[in-house]
Amino acid sequence: MDGGKFFGAFRASSGITDAVVLNHVPVGCNWGAAIFKTTSNQFDMRHACTVMHEREIVFGGEDALREALIRADELYDTPLLLVIAGDAPSIIGDDVEAVVNSVTLDAEVMWMEAAGFKGSMMDGYEEALLRLAGLMKESETIQGSVNLIGFSPDDFKVDADVKEIKQLLLDAGVEVNTVISKCSLEEFRRAPAAELNVVLGQGTLLAEQMKKELGLPYLKMDYPYGLDGTAHFVNAISEELGTGHEPEFDIEPFKRVYLYLHELYGTPVSVIGDFHAEAMANFLDGELGFNVEVSARNEDDYFAFEEEVRNSNTTILFGSSFEQNIAETLNIPLIRFCYPVFDNVCVYDDAPYAGFRGAVCLTEAIINTVMSYGGMNK
Amino acid sequence: MYGKGGIGKSTIVSNIAAALSENGKTIIVMGCDPKSDMTRNLIGKRIPTVLDLFRSKGADKMEPEDVVFKGFNGVYCIEAGGPEPGVGCAGRGVITAVDMLDRLGVFNDIEPDTVIYDVLGDVVCGGFAMPLRQGLADDVYIVTTCDPMAIYAANNICKGIKRFANRSAVTLGGIIYNGRSVVDEPSIVEGLADRLGTKVLGRVPMSLLVPRAELRRKTVIEYAPDSEIADTFRDLATAICENKDRVMPDPLSDDELDEINEEIEVLLKEREEN
């Protein structure tokens, strides 16, 4: 199950936290993007829309786009307007570039074509970052600093996770220069100042391009779930940068929660999600001692995943809000850990799932979910 | 009425409509081409199109009298209209225009004996196939000359009809031969009709009266009612009304089209030698 290229571009672009995204799409696509914000982060509504209706489909959406650009520039105090042309303007061939070039605005304008039918959400994310790379400016290298690439502003637990990862790296003598894509325009512009790009699951094309054009190396890492996963994450980055710093890890809180895990050892679980899924499965299997029966990525055959889970002994499902139905059908608890989560909120930015403290929070969440579920059928 | 662009569909549709109106029939003609000039010969001027009104007034404020105009002999004229060249989606425009007319109840209120849709060129996308779908049209008539590209377009239109065979009752009524091309050889088009499983319902010969009438924004039925060409259109209108042979066409393969092209080439050579 995949949101398509448009949503990938929307997520990457929304990550420039002081930019405004102008969706050049029919009303429904924008509604989807907006309604999700109301649960993921309703304090961060920074997008406008041309709201294409039948008139714009028949006669073209160029006039509507021009008007929307002018109005968005008036309404928002933003340094950057990011225009994303979705399915309908791509089908009817709106000349977005010509419209963008025809207006003079206070804000800088960048546009990208991201028809949902032209690729996956990851394709949209990757291509949007390549487009956004045009905003970067030559910067003096900050020794011992890294960019984290692969985030989206609507990832579940993103604020808490980024805060945790930044602190962990800082404790290891590594400064996070820019989080892509969850940073200000200024931070994004200075991304070339980092000594190393760390790619978490997506954004490899940007890292490749920065390596080719700027000589900036990159390291592909799994998302830092669990003690081992986090230690490996921090150590690998420290080693790559040659900081010579021996990070010390405080795992005392985890030891306290670990006592509750005895009863759950060998619990059969299944995991599905975006790039977070594999790291999560490794944590559940390698550190908590769960038995991962089915592990799948969003881009895999969802019906096959459902069937495999149904035919397995799965007693806890790890995924997104999309897995509500299958969890309800099988009468098993669902732990939400990755995009999209629209039936839970994560407002507090100090309860991560990533990092050492994240391992505690995550394990606590699993135990609480199981204890409050009222027993399992299987 | 379908056929390659510039093949004479609008001329034939307006003259057939005018001819049918002489018999006291209630006729609606609807132009489904963004250039919106099919009804000009029946009304004497361009009329506002459905999509013009949709754009300026909005769907909710449109009235039937905004888009339906009476032309020669009471023929009701409608133009779907469309976007400017190079922008928007003309195919979607046809769908939108038909939808608007449906919402306005135009066809129910007028209760026409016959509705003739004049559709742009080839069936380039789903929008231009609209009259083939949803039971809008009963029969399709294809206008063609002996030109290879006109025959190619005619065959493509038949593919469109066949595609919708399972979804609607639309069938091919026949071929109308326009004899104004460089090679004017009825046997070519009769051969095409044979292979498609249909027949040629009439031949419209080259006539100077047609451009003369159109320069005055009239049909030949109005401009030269006693002329031979006016009678040709009357005969064609009668043939269509009395036509009982409706078929599901069997479109030609590329090889079969090449065979027809070879016949045309032979005729062209003969013409050059003479």
Mean pLDDT of B109-119: 93
Give the mutation candidate from A59, A87, A90, A91 for the B interface (greatest B CB count, under 10 A): A59
Total beta-carbon pairs less than 8 A apart between chain A and chain B: 41
pLDDT at site B94: 86
B9 is known as an active-site residue:
yes
pLDDT at site A45: 75
Is a pLDDT exceeding 60 seen at residue B45?
yes
Distance from CA of B90 to the nearest CA of A (A): 6
pLDDT at site B86: 84
Residues of chain B in Cβ contact (below 8 Å) with chain A:
51, 54-55, 59, 82-84, 87-90, 92-93, 96
Nearest CB partner across the interface for A57, out of B59, B84, B89: B89
**Helix, strand, or coil here: A93?**
coil
Contact B96 A94 (CB under 8 A): no
* Confidence band of A378 (pLDDT split at 50, 70, 90): very low
Contact A59 B96 (CB under 8 A): no
- Give tens-digit pLDDT for B251-273: 999 999 999 999 999 988 888 88
Q: Calculate the average pLDDT of chain A.
A: 92
B235 is known as an active-site residue:
no
Q: Which of B176, B236, B37, B206 is nearest to B118 (CA)?
A: B37
Mean pLDDT of A140-157: 95
Mean pLDDT of B128-138: 75
pLDDT at site A40: 67
Is a pLDDT exceeding 80 seen at residue B152?
yes
Catalytic: which of B122, B147, B184, B218? B122
pLDDT at site B124: 65
Residue in chain B lying closest to A95 (CA) = B87
Q: A326 or B129: whose pLDDT is higher? A: A326
**Helix, strand, or coil here: A316?**
strand
Token pair for residue B160? Answer: 């469109």
pLDDT at site B121: 66
Q: B130 or B265: whose pLDDT is higher? A: B265
Is a pLDDT exceeding 70 seen at residue A375?
no
Mean pLDDT of B135-147: 89
Distance, in Å, from the CA atom of B71 to the CA atom of A321, rounded to the nearest integer, reads 61
pLDDT at site B193: 97
Could you report how far apart the first and last alpha carbons of chain B are, in Å? 35
Per the DSSP assignment, residues forming a β-bridge with A176 are A146
- Range list of H helices, B45-89: 50-57, 64-67
Q: Sketch out chain A's domains with CATH numbers.
A: 4-135 (3.40.50.1980), 145-241 (3.40.50.1980), 252-371 (3.40.50.1980)
Q: Which positions in chain B touch A91 (Cβ < 8 Å)?
A: 89
Q: Does A55 touch chain B (CB under 8 A)?
A: yes
ipTM of this predicted complex? 0.75
Query: CA B49, B51, B54, B59 torsion: positive or negative?
Result: positive
- Give tens-digit pLDDT for A39-91: 666 667 788 999 999 999 999 999 999 999 999 999 999 999 999 999 999 99
pLDDT at site A347: 78
Contact B83 A60 (CB under 8 A): yes
Q: What is the pTM of this model?
A: 0.84
Contact A59 B87 (CB under 8 A): yes
Q: Which positions in chain A touch B88 (Cβ < 8 Å)?
A: 56-60, 92
Q: Which of A217, A126, A167 is nearest to A357 (CA)?
A: A167
Distance from CA of A6 to the nearest CA of B (A): 20
Stretch among A374-378, B156-160, B206-210, B248-252 having the lowest mean pLDDT: A374-378
- Give tens-digit pLDDT for B155-172: 999 998 888 777 767 899
pLDDT at site A348: 79
pLDDT at site A41: 66
Distance from CA of A21 to the nearest CA of B (A): 23
For residue B45, give the DSSP letter.
S
Q: Which positions in chain B touch A57 (Cβ < 8 Å)?
A: 88-89, 92, 96
Contact B92 A57 (CB under 8 A): yes
Stretch among A148-157, A244-253, B212-221 having the lowest mean pLDDT: A244-253
Burial of A134 (0-12, 13-18, 19+ CB in 10 A): exposed
Is a pLDDT exceeding 60 seen at residue A124?
yes
B122 is known as an active-site residue:
yes
Is a pLDDT exceeding 60 seen at residue A214?
yes
- Range list of H helices, B105-181: 106-110, 148-163
* Confidence band of B137 (pLDDT split at 50, 70, 90): confident
Contact B89 A91 (CB under 8 A): yes
pLDDT at site A290: 95
Catalytic: which of B35, B99, B199, B231? B35
pLDDT at site B122: 66
Q: Does A127 touch chain B (CB under 8 A)?
A: no
* Confidence band of A28 (pLDDT split at 50, 70, 90): confident
Distance from CA of B92 to the nearest CA of A (A): 6
Q: B168 or A167: whose pLDDT is higher? A: A167
pLDDT at site A374: 65
B45 is known as an active-site residue:
no
Residue in chain A lying closest to B87 (CA) = A60
Contact B88 A58 (CB under 8 A): yes
- Give tens-digit pLDDT for A248-267: 777 777 777 777 887 888 99
Is a pLDDT exceeding 90 seen at residue A199?
yes
